């Protein structure tokens, strides 16, 4: 799980162009979206869907169902753990 969290953070940094951020800068529990956490938006949500599908073979058809899954790196990692092909 710890490996997965680290790996995910790096993928978020690369795919979402989070300039000057290192995996250590991202709080595993903090919200990814909205003003408090990383401040990601709806386009980032689509990019995260691509990360899941390309790298973990997990398909999320409806962006709306991503809301809880994408809450934080932690929720995202848990979802991947339980759905990994």
**Shortest Å, Cβ 5 to other proteins:** 21
Q: Please, which residues have CB within 8 angstroms of residue 13's CB and are 6 or more apart in sequence?
A: 21, 22, 23, 26
Closer CB to other proteins, residue 25 or residue 81? 25
Q: What share of the chain is helix, strand, coil (3-state, %, to 5)?
A: 60, 0, 40
How many C-beta atoms lie closer than 10 Å to residue 4's C-beta? 16
Q: Which pair of structure tokens corresponds to residue 7?
A: 């790996």
Applying CB under 8 A, among 3, 42, 68, 82 the residue interacting with other proteins is 42
Identify which range of 1-9, 10-18, 24-32, 72-80 contacts other proteins by CB under 8 A. 10-18
Q: Identify the residue among 19, 24, 36, 68 touching other proteins (CB under 8 A).
A: 19
Answer yes or no whether residue 47 interacts with other proteins by CB under 8 A. yes
């Amino acid at each position: 799980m710890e490996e997965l969290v680290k790996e995910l953070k790096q993928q978020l940094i690369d795919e979402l162009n989070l300039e000057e951020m290192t995996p250590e800068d991202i709080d595993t529990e903090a919200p990814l979206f909205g003003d408090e956490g990383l401040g990601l938006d709806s386009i980032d949500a689509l990019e995260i869907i691509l990360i899941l599908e390309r790298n973990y073979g997990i398909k999320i058809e409806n962006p709306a169902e991503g809301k809880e899954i994408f809450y934080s790196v932690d929720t995202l990692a848990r979802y991947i753990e339980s759905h990994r092909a």
